[in-house]
Every structure is written in C-alpha cells, then in structure tokens.
Chains A and B, each alone.
Chain A
Amino acid sequence: MWQYVLIQGAISGVIYALIAIGFALIYGICGISNLTQGAYFMIGPFIYGVLKEVLPNYLPNLSSNTILMLALILSCLITAIIGSIVYRITLHPILGQEVNILILSICVCIIFQQLVLITMGPGKAFMFNIGELLPGMLAIGNVEVSRGKVFAAFFSILLFIALAIVIKGTKIGKAMRALSEDLEAAMLMGINVEKIFMLISGIAAFLASLGGIFYITTTNYNVSLWMWLQGLAWAFTVVVLGGLKSLKGALVGGLIFGYAETIIIKVLPKGGLIIQSFPFIITILVLLIRPKGIFGKRIEME
C-alpha cells in the first residue's frame, strides 16, 4: 500500500502544484492575488471538451491521439490568451488596490461561471464528460497507474523545469525578477510592466487550465461548473502551505497536499466526502504553526 501512496501522492501532488504555481507566479511578480485563476481552471477543461468534439470535423485525417494533444495545447493557449486579455481589461487599471482586486477577480470568476452556464446549458454545465487523457494502465513496480496520470505528471515536471529556465536564464525572466523586487526601479530601467504582467497572467492561465484538464481527465472525467471553487481552494491551500511568493514553496506544498490527500482517502472511511474540508484543516494547522507558510520568510523566485 505504501508504494501506491508514494506514487499516487507524487502524481496528484504535481498536478496540484501546477494549479498553484500560476497563482504563486502572479502573486510573486505582479504582487496581486488574482483569483481569476479559478475561472481558468474551470474553462480550460470546458474548452478542451468542446475542441475535442469539434476538431475531428475539421481535421478528419488526424489520429485520435494527435487530436487529443492538439485539443490540449489549443485549449490551454486559448485560455492563456483569454487570461492575459482579461488581466489587461480588468485588473491592470486597478493595480495596487488590494481589496478591489480581490473583489473584482471574484466577480470575474462569477462572470465566467455564468457564461459557461449560459453557453453550455444547464445539463452540460454541471456534468460534461471530457473523457480520459490516455487510455490504459502502466505498471510502476507493483503499482498500476493509469498512463494519463504518468503523462500528466511528466508533462507538468517538464513545464516546471522550462519555467525555471525561463525565469532564471532568459532576459524576460530577468525582467520578471526585477519587477518582483522593485516595481518602480524596474519601470525606470525601461521594463514594459504592462507587457510582462500580461505575459505572466497568460502563463498562469495556461498552467491553471492545464492543471484543470489534467485533474479532470485523470480522475472522474466530468467537468462541473463548481470546479473553480474547488480549484481555488486547492490553490490557496497549496500556496499558503508553501508561502505565497515562492515557486519552490508551491511545488513542495503541492506534493505535501497530494500525499496528505492520498493518505486520507486510503485511511479514513468515507474519506472521499471529507476531502472537501481537508484543504482548510491543513491550512489552519499550518497557519497556527507558521503563519507565513513553510517557505514564506524567504521571498525568493526560482
């Protein structure tokens, strides 16, 4: 059993980290708590499901796996574009007003929720089957894990590495780090804040929607409208666990969360029901011990 917990926990932990890392990225660099991440976590899978149904009509000679990957990438890109445009329209004009940003981003989430409800209709909005990511099982040691989960975990780890390289190594990454350290000084050095922030919002939306798609396609295959609340609750928990500004913290927090969740589902009777409350309990415990999260003291980007 411990082998199952070890592998399953790591895989779901990586997916949770994917959801949270965009949040940490935005908070770390832009200094705003952009709750619209939850909306992208929800609309990503919806767009993926729609694209998966629509794409074969236009590209009939592609194999089904290619269509899946195409839909995956396209839906994430579309969400990323939506994310950066929404950031530019709504959040950019009110940068610096903390309360207003929180309220406004919640309202943007509600707008997306209602838009999905209206466009998909009440039947599909609450139960929209988007299918499995990759069919079949894979044996790791004695444990059988679905191929989709393994693919999702590897893809996420690759993305983390790519993100780390971008932030550490490239010029844009340097600009991002500069902005996170001192906004005004960075502006004086000629960094285009608007562009960089839009880019970051796009990346964060990309990660959030990818996390949403991975989560749904590896667990219960059904997208629901209320998923954004769940996603936000997880993102908060993971981010609070690791400390709001730290990307490394988000990764470690995600892993802790994934392991804790897997253990709870395995150990407790009816564990699947309490799992909703479980993020909050963990967060409260962490906050009582370390109010700034595990990696909270050191404000760092990695």
Chain B
Amino acid sequence: MPINITKYLWKIYTEFTTRIYDIPPRMLAFLSFIILAAIPLMLDPIKLAFLIIANIYAILAASWDLLVGRTGQISLGHAIFYAIGAYSTALLYMYFKWPLWLTMPLSLLVGAISALVIGFPCLRVKGPYLALLTFALPFSVKGFLYYYSDIFGGDAGIPPIPKKLYEFFPMLSGDQKVIANYYLSLGLMAISAIILYKIATSKTGLTFVSILDDELASKACGINVTKYKLMSFTISGIFGSFAGMIYAHMVSRRVDPLFLDVSYSIIPIIATIIGGIGTIYGPIVGAYIYCFLDRYLFQYIIPYVCIPLGNYTVRIPLKDAEWRMLLFSAIVVLLIIKWPRGIARAIVEKLEDLEEPREIEEIEKEKKLQV
C-alpha cells in the first residue's frame, strides 16, 4: 500500500501546530529571545552589525504598528520621530555635554512633546488626509533644518556622539564593544517590545482597537477619541524617537538630514507587511527578516543574481542598495496584492485550506464503506 505523502505531511503539520499552540506565546517569545541572545556565540562580530540594526528597526516597526495597525491612524512619516530622537540626543550632547543618563531620557521627553505638538493638529483629520499630512511632514521639517543651519548644522549635520552606550561598561575592548552593543540593543528592544505589547493588550490598547474598528461607535460609547488617538500617537512617537536615539548612540555617523529620509518611513512599513499588521510582535519578526535579507543574505551570501535571457545573461547586483530597495518595494507590492494580511497568516490559511479536499475524500471513503 503506497504511503499518502500529503496526508503524512498534513499529519506532521497539525501535530506541529498543536504543539506550537500548546506552548504559551510568552514561552515562544522567551525562546526566541534566548536564540537571539546566543547568536553572538556563533556569528562573527563584524557581521553582527545587521542584528543591531534589526533590533533598532524592530522598535521602530513595532511603534509604527501600534499607531497604524492597532489604532488605525495611518502615518507615512515615521522617519520624523526617528530623526527627532537622533537629533535631540546629538544636540543635547553637543551644546551641553551632558552625560548619557541625562540626555537619553531628555531626548525621549523631546520625542513625546514633539509627538504631542505634531499630533494635536494632525489628528484633527483622518484617513487619507492624515496619511498625506504625515507623509509630507519629514520633508517639510527638512526645510527647517536647512533654514536654521547654524543650530542644526544644515546639510552636514551634527558630528557623531563620541560617548557610546557601551561606555556604561568601561572594561570592554575591540570586538567586545560590538557584542556589548548587540546585547544592549537586544535588551532595549525586548523592553520596548514588552512595553508596547502590554500597552496594546491592556484596556487602553482595547480602546485603540475600538477606534480602529469604528470611530463613531467608540465615540458613542463615551470614549474620548481625540485623547486616545493622541495617546497612541505620543506612545508611538516616544518609541520611534527611542529607536533613533539608540541608533545615534550605537553607530558613529553624523546626525544629518538623511535621518529624515523616506526610507526610514518605508522600513517599518516593509517590516510590518512582512510580519503581519496589527500584531506588535509581527513587525518585530518582520524587522528581523528584513534585516537578515537586506544586510546579511544579499551582502554576504547572494551578492548578485544572474538571469539568462537568450544569448546573454543579465547580472543583477543585489549588493547595491538601489537594487535591494527595489526588490523590497516590489515584495511589499506583491504581498499586499496577494496576501494583504501578512505572510505568516497567509501560509497558515493556505495550509488549513489543504484540509478541506482531504476531508471530502475521507467522507467519500466513509460513504463507500457504508455501502
């Protein structure tokens, strides 16, 4: 009797999923945290850079998801908070030379206040108006950076902050600094992910979701919609600027108007679309996938792709930033058209669809047996 392979695979899949679902999500998160924490033991410290960036982008993407996926207030200009975080720490350091433990909370405060100031007029409008407004925002702020170039340094920006986060541990040297950076960013990512998840699943988070589902109905239930929208915007802004602040502290790079680049508004979108919108943890996974593809796979493993076309071959250098950005934008477009609810959910749904024809077969077999 031949073995029905699809049936066998289906059995494995169902067992696997039930096993996975048996494990509480907290356990799963903890396991993946341990795996992430163990990575420096296996990987070259130089190649660890992509994971540091992934940690930072994970915060950015999760904060974007709280605003867009959970509250339904579409922001296409999240780069603004990223830049506010980076600029505020760098400026505070440059002008006052304050120590790290003072500038870091202060820059978060700056992020919160600016989110309030931006959110108050912006959140008076909704839907496409809000999206358009927030999209124009980073671009408009760039003008201020150039106009007051004696404060913000104009095009050249502000010199990198010499004090780095790993200086909390003064005894480190060389590669250990990179590893310390990695663990610090991982820890900060875990903390902010937990805070964001707790907010999203708390009563406040439920209120956010009610605004996403039906603003009018939640207004009718006596919810102060404006207040909660502003709250969501501010929390999102705080964590967005937190990501920018960490980046400014980890990477020795000038804090320049490139922080307002549209790509920093696109990266959380890419991560969220890959991971699944509205789930806080999805964007974090998506950010890791994105950074793994963008900064590891296409840098070290598949630097270029050759496509044979008739007589000659087209060589696509995936190593170049422009090709990678093109590829990811195309992936997002395809994903939205094909599976608007994210890859993970799409795969699960597809696998569950496999079940139906099998059931019909079984029913037919049963019928035959009965006859």
Contact (Cβ within 8 A) A102 B333? no
Chain A residues numbered 169-220 whose CB sits less than 8 Å from any CB in chain B: none
A74 contacts the other chain (CB 8 A):
no
Contact (Cβ within 8 A) B330 A283? no
Segment touching A, from B36-44, B120-128, B229-237, B360-368 = B120-128
A64 contacts the other chain (CB 8 A):
no
B133 contacts the other chain (CB 8 A):
yes
Contact (Cβ within 8 A) B124 A275? no
Chain A residues numbered 27-47 whose CB sits less than 8 Å from any CB in chain B: 27, 33, 35
CA distance A274 to B128 in the complex (A): 26
Mark B residues whose CB is within 8 Å of A. 68, 72, 74, 76, 121-122, 124-125, 127-129, 131-133, 135-137, 139-144, 146-147, 262, 265-266, 269, 273, 277, 322-323, 325-326, 329-330, 332-333, 336-337, 340
Q: Residue among B132, B329, B330, B337 with the most chain A CB within 10 A?
A: B132
CA distance A274 to B139 in the complex (A): 11
10 closest Cβ pairs, A-B complex: A276-B143, A277-B143, A280-B140, A33-B128, A114-B326, A236-B132, A233-B136, A110-B329, A277-B140, A107-B329
Contact (Cβ within 8 A) A237 B266? no
Contact (Cβ within 8 A) B131 A100? no
Known: A104-B336, A277-B147. 5 other contacts (CB 8 A): A98-B128, A110-B266, A114-B329, A240-B132, A270-B147
Chain B residue with Cβ nearest A106: B76
Q: Residue among B122, B125, B269, B333 with the most chain A CB within 10 A?
A: B333
CA distance A239 to B128 in the complex (A): 11
Closest CB in chain B relative to A134 CB, distance in Å: 30
Contact (Cβ within 8 A) A110 B136? no
Interface size grouping (class) on chain A: 35 or more
CA distance A240 to B130 in the complex (A): 10
CA distance A220 to B350 in the complex (A): 53
Closest CB in chain A relative to B141 CB, distance in Å: 7
A131 contacts the other chain (CB 8 A):
no
Chain A residue with Cβ nearest B327: A114
Contact (Cβ within 8 A) B68 A99? yes
Taking chain B's interface residues, is the majority helix, strand, or loop, or is none over half, making it mixed? helix
A281 contacts the other chain (CB 8 A):
yes
B131 touches which one: A33, A229, A237, A273 (CB < 8 A)? A33
CA distance A66 to B327 in the complex (A): 39
A135 contacts the other chain (CB 8 A):
no
Q: Residue among B124, B128, B269, B329 with the most chain A CB within 10 A?
A: B128
Contact (Cβ within 8 A) B322 A107? no
B139 touches which one: A35, A110, A229, A291 (CB < 8 A)? A229
A60 contacts the other chain (CB 8 A):
no
Contact (Cβ within 8 A) B140 A279? yes
Interfacial chain B residues near A240, Cβ < 8 Å: 125, 129, 132-133
CA distance A229 to B277 in the complex (A): 25
Q: Residue among B124, B131, B323 with the most chain A CB within 10 A?
A: B131
Contact (Cβ within 8 A) B141 A277? yes
CA distance A230 to B135 in the complex (A): 11
Q: List 13 A-B contacts (CB under 8 A).
A: A27-B128, A90-B337, A93-B337, A103-B273, A110-B326, A117-B322, A273-B146, A276-B143, A277-B144, A279-B136, A280-B140, A291-B125, A292-B125
